[in-house]
Amino acid sequence: MSSKLEQLKAITDVVADTGDIEAIARFQPLDATTNPSLLLKAAQLPAYAHLLHESLETAGGDPVAACDHLAVAIGAEIVKLVPGRVSTEVDARLSFDTQATINKARQLIELYASRGIDRSRILIKIASTWEGINAARVLEQEGINCNLTLLFSFAQAVACADAGATLISPFVGRILDWYKANQPQLSFAADRDPGVESVTRIYNYYKQHGYNTIVMGASFRNTDEIEGLAGCDRLTISPQLLAELADDQGELQRRLSSDNSGEPQSRISYDEPGFRLAMNEDAMATEKLAEGIRNFIADQVKLENLLRDL
For residue 288, indicate whether it is catalytic.
Answer: no
Q: Are 47 and 22 in contact (CB under 8 A)?
A: yes
Query: Catalytic: which of 4, 9, 125, 288?
Result: 125
Q: Are 138 and 102 in contact (CB under 8 A)?
A: yes
Residue 65: count other Cβ atoms within 10 Å of its Cβ: 18
Q: Are 160 and 128 in contact (CB under 8 A)?
A: yes
Q: Are 235 and 196 in contact (CB under 8 A)?
A: no
Number of C-alpha atoms within 13 angstroms, CB side, residue 189? Answer: 1
Q: 77-111: b or e for each residue (b if 16 or more CB lie within 10 Å)?
A: bbbebbeebbbbbbbbebbebbebbbebbeebbeb
What are the start-end ranges of the H helices in the chain? Answer: 4-11, 21-27, 36-43, 49-58, 63-79, 98-114, 130-141, 154-162, 173-182, 194-208, 223-228, 239-247, 272-281, 283-308
How many residues are listed for the chain in this entry?
Answer: 310
CA nearest 155: which of 293, 279, 289?
Answer: 279
So which residues are the catalytic ones?
A: 125
